Structure 1
C-alpha cells in the first residue's frame, strides 16, 4: 500500500515532501509507530530521487518526528498529535432529515466490558463460557479452505447455498417451518431482515401494526422509513387481532415468546391473525427471536407453518443461540416479496460476509449447533427456575410473574406502587443491572415492572443479586 503524498511539478521537491510528512505526523494521520516506506520505494512511487527522500527522513528525524531502527526501518516517533480545527457544520438542505435520524433514541445498547455490572439481568445477552470455541475454530478452518477454492468474486446476496440449506433443515426440524433453501435470505442479524422486508413494503404514510408493548427497535425502524406505526394491545392470548387497523399493510408480531412480556400467542389468535392478514392484503413478520429455548408445555406451531396463503415472513437469528457479535440472521420469505427483498439486500450491503456463513454452515451440519443449544438449555432452565422461585417467594410481595414457557427472559409486573426508576438506580450502585418494562409501551398505558434476562448472569450470582434487590425494595417501600 502506497503512502499518500502528492508532489507537484519539479521544484522544491524536498520541501514539498517534508511539509506533507510533517503535517501528516503532527495531525495524527500518521500515527505513532507507523512504519514509513523505505526511501528507495517512496522515491520510485513519487518519481523523485532517493537522496531527496533520504534527506527528508533525516531532517524529520532531527526534528524528533521520525526515529530510525537499525534493521527495521524508519518509524513515526511517539509524540502527541496537534489538534487541527474541525470544519464547521454547513447548513445542509437535508438538515430536517438528518435531525430526524439523529434524534432517535436507540435502546438496547449493551454495556461494553468496562461498563458492565457484575450481575446483569439484561435481555438478549448470553453467557460466552457456554460457547465451545474449539468447535467454532475447527469450522472456521474449514471455511477458510472453502474460501481459498473460490475465485475473487462477490457472493450471492441471498447467502451461500450451503448455509441456506443447513438453516432450512434446522428450522424444519426444530420449529416445523415449511421451507426450502430457495425460500431463505441470509442477513446481518434479524434487524437487517426487518429492515429489508420493511423497505420493500413501506411507503411514507402507510400503516404498520405491531404489538404494544413490543420490540422498540422494530418500531423505530418502521417510523424511520416513514410508516405510521400503530401499537395494538396484547392480552394473555397475544395480539388483539380485532384491534389491528384495517389499512395496515405490515403486521409485526412475536408469537412464540411475546416481547417483552413473554406469553405465547394462542392457537385461536394465530388463526385469526392469519385470516385477518389475508383479508386485508397485509404481510405478517413473525419474529421468532429466541424460539430454541422452551421449558414447559407442548411445542406450538410457528405462524409460518400454519400459513397456506403466503402472508408470513419468518425471521430468525443466531445472535441468541450462539454469539450476539456473529450478526447472522435469516428470513424465510413468501414468493410475493422474495425477489424484491433480495434486490434490497444487494443494494444494502451486497451480501453478508461469507467467512462466518461457511463457518456456520459447517457448524450446523456437524451437529454442533444442536449440542450447543442443549447445553445452553440446561443452564438457562436452571437459572429460570431459580428466578421463578425467588419471585414466587420473598419477592412476591412486590412483583407477579407473567406466565412464560420459552426464551431466556421473564417479565414481572408490579403488584404494589413502586418507583421503578429509583429501584433501577439503586440496584446499579450495588452492581445489579435491572431493566424496566415501561419503555416498551407506546400507545398502550405503560405498566410498571421489570424484564429479567437470565442469559448473561451467572447462576451463582442470581441469589446474591436478588438479595440486594430485595433489600432495596424493603428500603424504598
Structure 2
C-alpha cells in the first residue's frame, strides 16, 4: 500500500472462514470488519464483482452476503451509490447479550401442599403408588405404541382416543351399571378438569350451582370462577338433602358413592328424588365417582348415572385415585345434548391427555391388568383400614370407614379441631379438620383420616401415637 493512501475495502484479506462455507464465511468476515471498525461508518464496500475476484468466490455468493448484511441493518444499498456501512451499527438490537459468568444455584422444589402428600400420616385421598406394577404399565405403553401407526399420534382426538373410550365404556357397563357407549365418553386429565369444563360450558354469571355441605372445596371454587352463585345443600345420614334443592338451580354436584368427606352413600330414595328434581327443574347433576371401586363390606351400589333415564347426569371418574396420582387421566360420560358444547370448550382450552398415556391405559384395561390392580389394592387398603381401626380406642367414634380412601374420626367432647390438629402436628401427624370442608353447616368436631398411602408398619406406629393423643384429649 502506498504511503498516505487510505485503507481500502479491497485490502481486506481473504478470510479463512471461506473454506468452511463460502456464503456464511463471507458474511461473517464482512460483519466482523464492520463491528471492528475496519470498515468505518459511511465507508463504501467494494463491488461484489471486484471482491469476488479478490476472494476467489462467485459474485452470487457475495450478493447473498451483502443482502443479508442489508436486511440486518449493517449496510445500506442504494442504486447508483453502491453499498455503504451504516452510520449507527445496530448490534445492541439484534445480537443477544453475552451471558456473564454466574454461580448457578440449585433448584429448590416448591413445598408440597399438606393436602396432597403421600406417605404422611394421615393425609387423606391418596392411593399407594408402590402397589402399582410399573413393569406391566411399561409393557402396556410399549404394546400400545407399537400397535398403532403414526396417524394415531398425529391426529387430534379431542374426546380422546376411540380405543380408550371403548374400553372405559365397557368397564363402566360391567362394574358400575352404566348403559353407555364410547361416543358418550370424553377423556379428561382428572375430575377437576371435568368440573372446569362443565363450569365453563354450562354456567353463566348469576346461575345457581348447588354443592354438598360439607363437600369437595375445589368444586365450589371452580363453579364460583365461572360466576355462579353457590348454594350449599346440607348432607344428612342418607346423603344430600334433596328437599332443599331450588328449582332455579342450573346444576347440583354430588358424591353419591362415598360422600366427600363424610363417607355415607346416597340412598336409593334420595337418588330418585335427585333425578326427579333435575328433570323437573331442567337442571344437570354432576356425579363425582372418585373412589367407588373401594367398598370393603358389600358390593357398591350402581352409579347414580345408571338410573338416569332422562339423560340429566354428567358422570365423572378418574384413574388418578386408583392407579397413581401422576397419571392425570380421567373421563366424563356426558348426556348426548351436552357432548358438542363440552367438546367445543375442550377444543378451545386445548387441555388434553397425551396419546402415549391413553394408549397405555387402553392396553392396561384391555389386558385385565386394571381389574387385577383394583383387586390387589382393595385387599391392601382393607388390611390397612382394619389395622388402623384396631389401634384406636374402643369407644372412639368413626364413620365412612366402609369404603373409600379415608374415614372420619369424631373427637371427644370438649376437644376443638384446631387444638387437636396442632397437637397432632407436634408429634408428626397431618390431620385435616372437618370444619375446613363446611360452608354453612355446623358439625361436631372431627378430623379426616387417610390410611391408604401408608404401610402397615407406619399405620401401627402412628396409630398408637394418634391413640395417645385421643386418650390425653
Task: Give TM class, smaller chain.
Answer: 0.7 to 0.9
Residue 288 of structure 1 and its aligned partner are, at CA, apart by: 0.3
Choose from 437, 442, 446 the match for 1:440.
437
Per-residue deviation at 1:147?
5.7
Match of 1:57 in 2: none
1:119 Cα deviation from its structure 2 partner: 4.1
SS state at 2:433 partner: coil
Where do residues 140-151 of structure 1 align in structure 2 (5 Å cutoff)?
140-146=141-147, 149-150=150-151
Indicate the residue corresponding to 2:324 in structure 1.
Answer: 323
CA gap 1:80/1:291 in 2 versus in 1, 3 angstroms: same
Deviates more, 1:298-307 or 1:266-275: 298-307
Q: C-alpha distance in 2, partners of 1:211/1:127?
A: 27
Q: TM-score, normalising length from structure 1?
A: 0.75
Q: CA deviation at 1:450?
A: 1.0
Deviations 1:329-377 (A, max 9, x none): 0000011111111111111125321110000000110010001011101
SS in 1 for 2:402: coil
**Aligned counterpart, 2:411:** 414
Q: 1:423 to 1:335 in 2, by over 3 A?
A: same
Alignment length (residue pairs): 384
Structure 1 residue 404 displacement after superposition: 4.3
Q: Structure 2 length normalisation: TM-score?
A: 0.76
Aligned counterpart for 1:80 among listed residues 89, 103, 113: 103
> Per-residue CA shift, 1:224-281, capped at 9, x if unaligned?
1111111101111000001112211110000000000001011111111111111111
SS of residue matched to 1:150: helix
Shift of 1:400: 1.3
Deviation at 1:468, TM superposition (A): 1.2
User: Which residue in 1 is equivalent to 2:293?
Assistant: 292
CA-atom RMSD in angstroms: 2.8
The 1:404–1:467 alpha-carbon spacing in structure 2 relative to 1, beyond 3 Å, is: closer
User: For residues 443 and 223 of structure 2, what CA distance do their matches in structure 1 show?
Assistant: 21
Q: Secondary structure of 2:336's partner?
A: coil
- In structure 2, the partner of 1:373 is 374
Check 1:14–1:430 CA distance in 2 against 1; reply closer, same or farther (3 A cut).
Answer: farther
The 5 Å alignment of 1:177-256 reads: 177-256=178-257
1:110-162 residue CA offsets vs partner (Å, 9 max, x unmatched): 24xxxx7x642111212121000100010111233246532663421000000
How far, CA to CA, are the matches of 2:370 and 2:434 in structure 1? 31
Q: Alpha-carbon deviation of 1:402?
A: 1.6
Structure 1 distance, partners of 2:368, 2:283, is: 37
Point out 4+ residue stretches in structure 1 off by more than 6 angstroms: none
Aligned equivalent of 1:425, options 422, 427, 431: 422
The residue number in structure 2 matching 1:385 is: 386
Cα deviation for residue 200 of structure 1 reads 1.1
- CA gap of 1:176–1:336, structure 2 versus 1, over 3 A, is same
Distance 2:168 2:153 in 1: 25
- Aligned-partner Cα distance in 1 for 2:269–2:317: 23
Distance across 1 between alignment mates of 2:330 and 2:375: 20
Residue 36 of structure 1 is matched in structure 2 by none
Distance 2:357 2:149 in 1: 14
The structure number with the bigger radius of gyration is 2
Q: CA deviation at 1:415?
A: 3.7
Q: Displacement, 1:107?
A: 7.7
Deviation at 1:378, TM superposition (A): 0.5
| Secondary structure of 1:248's aligned partner | coil
Aligned partner of 2:138 in structure 1 is 137
Residue of structure 2 equivalent to 1:353: 354
Shift of 1:383: 1.1
- Kindly indicate whether residue 97 of structure 2 is the aligned counterpart of residue 110 of structure 1: no
Question: 1:374 and 1:255, CA in 2 relative to 1: closer, same or farther beyond 3 A?
Answer: same
Q: Tell me the distance in 1 between the aligned counterparts of 2:306 and 2:398.
A: 30
**C-alpha separation in 2, matches of 1:107 and 1:246:** 38
Structure-2 separation of matches of 1:108 and 1:352 = 26
Contact 1:263 1:404 in 2 (8 A): no
Q: Assess if the C-alpha contact under 8 Å between 1:188 and 1:328 holds in 2.
A: yes
* Correspondent of 1:466 among 448, 451, 463: 463
State the secondary structure of the residue aligned to 1:232.
strand
Distance 1:198 1:274 in 2: 20
Q: Structure 2: where are the runs of 5+ without partners?
A: 1-27, 38-64, 70-96, 106-111
Runs of at least 5 residues in structure 1 that lack an aligned partner in the other structure: 1-6, 17-43, 49-64, 67-75, 83-105
- 8 Å CA contact retained: 2:385, 2:452: no
Q: Is residue 391–residue 400 contact of structure 1 (8 Å, CA) maintained in 2?
A: no
Structure 1 residue 470: Cα displacement? 2.4
